[in-house]
Structure 1
Amino acid sequence: MAQNQGGAGGGGFFSSIASSFSSFKEHVNGLLGYEGLEVIDPEGKGTEDAEIEAERGRWKGEERDSYWRSMQKYVGADITSMVTLPVLIFEPMTMLQKMAELMEYSQLLEQADNCEDPYMRLVYTASWFISVYNALQRTWKPFNPILGETYEMVNHCGITFIAEQVSHHPPISAAHAENEHFVYDITSKVKTKFLGNSLDVYPLGRTRLKLKKDGVILELVPPPTKVNNLIFGRTWIDSPGEMVLTNLTTGDKVVLYFQPCGWFGAGRYEVDGYVYNSDEDPKILMTGKWNESMSYQPCDLEGEPLEDTDLKEVWRVAEAPEDDKFQYTYFAHKVNSFDTAPKKLLASDSRLRPDRYALEMGDLSKAGSEKSILEEKQRAEKRIRESRNQEFIPKWFDMTDQIAPTPWGDLEIYEYNGQYAKHRAAADKSSSVEQVNIETMEFNPWQFGNITESE
């Protein structure tokens, strides 16, 4: 994508963008006004919409310019946990809940577990991992979890899902999901690079999936993600690069290439690649779009489709509500509701966060103030821990001595300790049914009780 650089201007800022569209037409959008920023038209709209698209965003002009000035000092830095962001750019969901959205199309894992063909098994599981990218294209930021915060999900395909924020600096989340067909474990950590009007996100996590029938273990390395037009223009997401899913049991693997978004949206969403055997011979080609569907077809050693075979669809995105305020799917609404909450919900659950709930109710002022209160309580807890020379100990995951290498850095591994299954079994056997009321049940992830901000 081309970039033009020039002096900052007021009204001329957006008119210069429109002018560059008129001048180059079939070429990439130019941007005059702020050095090192990009404005493109990923939806491929016409040039007459250039000025409108450039102005479209979450901030009003004064707020946007003020925020840009405050963020300039962070250009080139990792801002994972060092910057306090305004709730205006948030969605009423936490990162722990976002992790649970991968469970929407878990029927693909049932198909994989029941599949006798080892290569088709990889087709199903790779499609499952791709399915979450449709949710990741939402451009609202989820809340960072408080240390000790949890998220529980039941009542979906027999799955029990538990996630916990196990570290604050650096931010690390761990999650475990299981039903009769699979066991899913992830230690999630990200590294970011702020580039002005965009943000590069590098997934340092380790993701493992076990299919119970044959006991095969799969490990995922996803591509990085780029968030474009954070401040100026329409915010949009791209994930160019390779996704590699390896069967650690057999050595077979899937390598899928996420096409980068080109000029005027060319290639956006497209995914292509192959299932390979352990000798790295292509066996099945896969193609599709991560926001629509994925298909597969057997291929020869040159990667060409076999004669007398057809391209068959394996996954298609479900219908979503129209004009939803936060671009939520029906499943995202379930994740955010108490319909998927178990009996005796943990008081540390994300749904109970007062800032999240206030944002969901549309009260940005209260959401901002509640977010500040929670963050100050978290800092107060840290001071208490340091004064007592104590370390934070997660409840449902244990830190191991394993260090996993990733393409973007090393990762400390947390493993599910099995205690949540015991807790859940005891709670489910209880005869008492507690009706969760977000307005009366207090959010409490605190290690030392619900301390005041001043402590």
Structure 2
Amino acid sequence: MPAASESSMETLEIHSKDFLIKWISAPENSTIDWQVKPLKKSINFSFYQRKDDNSSSQSSFDVSEKSTPSSDLPPPQIRTRTGSTASVNQFKKSNDVYKSKSRTSTLSSIGQSDLSLVKNYNKLIANELVHGKFHTETGGMFAFVFDNSFSKTIAKSVEFYAHVVATDLPQEEKIEHNDQHVFDDNADNSLAGEVLQSVMMKKRRKKLQGFVKRYFVLNLKRGSLSYFKVDDNKLRGQMPVKEAIISANPSNRQFIIDSGMEVWHLKAVNQADFKAWVNAFNAIKKQEGPSAVTTTSKSPTPKSPTELNLILQKLDKLKLENPSPLVAEIYQDVLNLSNRRGGEVHDGPGPNGDLQSVHTSEFYDADEEFDDDGVQFLDNEEYAPQQEDEDLEVDESSSEEEEDYDDQYLNRRHSRLSETATGAAGAAGAAGAAAIDQTRNQYNTDNKQDIPFPTVGGENDLYPLPHEPVARDYDIPACKHSPPSLLSFVRKNVGKDLSTIAMPVTYNEPTTVLQKFAEMLEYPQIVTNAVESEFEGDNGEKILRIAAFALSSLSSQRAKERNKRKPFTPLLGETYELVREDLGFRLVSEKVSHRPPVFAFHVDTENWTMDFALSPTQKFWGKQSEVTTKGLVVLTDKLSGEKFTWNQPTTMIKNIIAGETYAEPNGTITIKSSKGYKAVAEFAKGGMWSGRSEDVEVKAFDKSKKELPYTVSGKWTEQFILKTKSTEKSIWQAGELLPNYQKKYGFTTFAGTLNKITEIEQGFIPPTDSRFRPDLQAYEKGDADKAEELKNKLEQDQRVRRKQMEESGTEHVPQFFRFVGDKGEPADEGAWELITGEKSYWNRRKNQDWQGLVQLW
């Protein structure tokens, strides 16, 4: 799949409870080739085309005191562009100003606007690169909408790239451009007629936050106005100026720009800049070049105490209802501030070191600025603390439970509103403190059923999850020895099961089989994305994503050094747990049978589980060995009850005698759904001289065995691409290998963490855990001789225990799994399930109850 380089991808930042529109202009008979990649968090995505409207006039005029009266302005609602879009209108009174539209209601009302839906892609999943193409015969303006309105507290970052090519021209004459950064950091942007750029003040979306400095860039060729944080290159918004309604107020240098989907309230830092921007906006309407930006100057405006009086009225009423010392104290603070009647102007440094007030007293009617809870929030910026961010930003590494209005947001809002030192803002916050507490309590009461508070030992208990982030060291010491030659060994053991033959420790890698199978969980987000997403139509996307997960673990063998050794064979009763708070799962495993060797696993996550009991065998066949794994993998979607099952593929280890050793899966894998769907993955066959074959293709089929339209293809060593009718989605990419992996057994960074004991495990895991194997510890540190000695001792002790049980007529009883197959059925053919209840692994871990475990070392 063609992909834009990282340097050409533009980073967009979308606030919580907000959306961002990226406008693309395309000529007739052209193709828009676009790519989107949400970073860390998912986001909704769709794009629209502006309906053709030939009624717009091309007149324009300069703003002056005799301009068109503000009463002629259209009403503040989504509407078809009219003649007023072709000029900059004037407003003078506060009640002429458009109130900010609700972002959520705006999106839901797009059908009433002059935009028509081209394609709604719904939720784009985090870290998946989506690539699509759209051909337009008519051309026009297209709005790519990134919708984050469903997230209450978390801002999102998205990488975006669009490439427009006119396809009706000969190849050598094709019009081609990247609709990317509105300016190039290395380009000369001082040329007249190209770009107008300067700092302006932008009104924040949320109340009580006033205006903030932002860097605006007007691209006159494309007619797009974009803005960024000062000294930041993340695009935070874009407007199509030519199609927007623009109103200006010369008395306070303010602009209102209404695209029909969103409204921006801006303010020039001085009168010269204001005139330059007016001229530029009018020039775009007339398709002419603008005048240049001039330097800023001071022009402060006095403040008005109107809002302070209203705060005092509100606080006076609150004093009667809640006669607390805190309210009385804040009331006095606001009274003192009101007595100053204007106070000092809080100037700040401008973009060029100049000081510029952005205060005004005539923008809004204060009596209209009350929330439903009775707390007054001032839109007048003279009383608002000058914060750097437009949102109450939350670290993107926080929880994905964005639909819950969490206490962190309420606490931060409460804290900000309660700061009395910032004058009226603090007064308004204190006046609303009780209401905020009441809001929080009422919210928790009203939404209690929507917030999961799992009980210990209950169905939703994932102890020890959730857990604070844990630092993990993924690196391991370099290997200082090479495995011995297999030539003589193979001659003596052709066709034999390798697991039944004692081999020197230098044939091993520093993991056990339990840890090796735990690598199946390196990419759990593939399953999480599949079960938590809603896919439209009967296209097979869900089962194809599950199939991608089933294949993803093969990538652990992509480094050819990984295939020269085998993991340590666990002792009977040996266990291994893996808790990854960053990936949201917990895993427990146990060797439950020695002959045949069977390793049982259970995986828990919030919305899905996985069970498998696998029995691997490896046989030598001349120049290659064959690895087969008996046992069924069962993955259960807890949200729908749907179950998915599959078997591990057969893998050939080639060139084990001479040449470059590598692993190659062959044949097919079938992933079945309990709802009748199935996905069939077929590995490409390599030629005799072609080396390792890495290609794989997955097709989906419905209940009637009809092939579904979506497919997955790619290389099991690199990435998988989900191909739909209109897009390609990169749904999986192989993780990183260790630095200098050639000297470190070919390990991935995930494998490098498997033998580490972190604060999650320290003092909690049972003494039978693989991490405590003394031979494995010695081997990882590079002491092969000591590891060989310890390995022989552990195996001899196991033989002694087995002989004692035979003599006493007893059998080994697994501690954490039970066999649920038919009586007399071989251990590697029936199912194994995790023991639940009081004696479950996780309850015993919590209580440190390890009685009855075999002393293995």
Q: CA contact under 8 A between 2:737 and 2:748: conserved in structure 1?
A: yes
CA deviation profile, 1:405-435 (whole Å, cap 9, x unmatched):
9xxx9723222122588442464478xxxxx
Aligned pair 1:397/2:823, yes or no?
Answer: no
1:214 to 631, 637, 640: 640
Cα offset, 1:266, TM superposition: 5.4
Tell me the distance in 2 between the aligned counterparts of 1:267 and 1:192.
Answer: 19
1:180 to 584, 600, 606: 606
User: What is the match of residue 654 of structure 2?
Assistant: 228
Pair 1:286–1:342, CA change in 2 (3 A): farther
Q: CA contact under 8 A between 1:258 and 1:272: conserved in structure 2?
A: yes
CA deviation profile, 1:163-209 (whole Å, cap 9, x unmatched):
10001111110000101011100010123332133211222111100
Superposed, which structure 2 residues align to 1:22-421 within 5 Å? 58-59=482-483, 63-64=484-485, 67-81=486-500, 83-117=501-535, 119-137=540-558, 138-139=562-563, 140-156=565-581, 157-248=583-674, 250-265=675-690, 268-283=693-708, 284-298=710-724, 306=725, 309-324=726-741, 325-339=744-758, 341=761, 343-402=763-822, 411-418=829-836
Q: CA contact under 8 A between 2:765 and 2:845: conserved in structure 1?
A: no
Matching residue's letter, 1:271:
V
Q: CA contact under 8 A between 1:149 and 1:348: conserved in structure 2?
A: yes
Matching residue's letter, 1:399:
F
> Between Structure 1 and Structure 2, whose CA radius of gyration is higher?
2
Pair 1:396–1:297, CA change in 2 (3 A): same
Give secondary structure in 1 for the equivalent of 2:499: coil
CA deviation profile, 1:107-142 (whole Å, cap 9, x unmatched):
111111112237222122111111110113421311
Give secondary structure in 1 for the equivalent of 2:531: helix
Tell me the distance in 2 between the aligned counterparts of 1:155 and 1:219.
Answer: 24
Give secondary structure in 1 for the equivalent of 2:767: coil
- The total of aligned residue pairs comes to 364
CA deviation profile, 1:275-309 (whole Å, cap 9, x unmatched):
111111221111000110001123xxxxxxx4xx1
Instruction: Give the TM-score of the pair, scaled to structure 2.
Output: 0.40
Matching residue's letter, 1:377:
D
Pair 1:387–1:152, CA change in 2 (3 A): same
User: What is the match of residue 315 of structure 2?
Assistant: none
CA deviation profile, 1:6-40 (whole Å, cap 9, x unmatched):
xxxxxxxxxxxxxxxxxxxxxxxxxxxxxxxxxxx
Question: Which runs of 5 or more residues in structure 1 are unaligned?
Answer: 1-56, 299-305, 431-443
Pair 1:374–1:231, CA change in 2 (3 A): farther
Q: CA contact under 8 A between 1:288 and 1:295: conserved in structure 2?
A: yes
Pair 1:135–1:445, CA change in 2 (3 A): farther
Structure 1 runs, 4 residues or longer, greater than 6 Å off: none
Question: Which runs of 5 or more residues in structure 2 are unaligned?
Answer: 1-480
Give secondary structure in 1 for the equivalent of 2:522: helix
Tell me the distance in 2 between the aligned counterparts of 1:126 and 1:171.
Answer: 26
Pair 1:246–1:297, CA change in 2 (3 A): same
Tell me the distance in 1 between the aligned counterparts of 2:554 and 2:495.
Answer: 26
Pair 1:86–1:209, CA change in 2 (3 A): same
Tell me the distance in 1 between the aligned counterparts of 2:838 and 2:499.
Answer: 28
Give secondary structure in 2 for the equivalent of 1:100: helix
Give secondary structure in 1 for the equivalent of 2:768: coil
CA deviation profile, 1:244-278 (whole Å, cap 9, x unmatched):
10002x11011011123334445621111201111
Q: CA contact under 8 A between 2:596 and 2:828: conserved in structure 1?
A: no
Cα offset, 1:231, TM superposition: 3.4
Tell me the distance in 2 between the aligned counterparts of 1:85 and 1:259.
Answer: 33
Tell me the distance in 2 between the aligned counterparts of 1:379 and 1:151.
Answer: 21
Give secondary structure in 2 for the equivalent of 1:338: coil
State the percentage of identical aligned residues.
28
Q: CA contact under 8 A between 2:576 and 2:770: conserved in structure 1?
A: yes
RMSD: 2.8
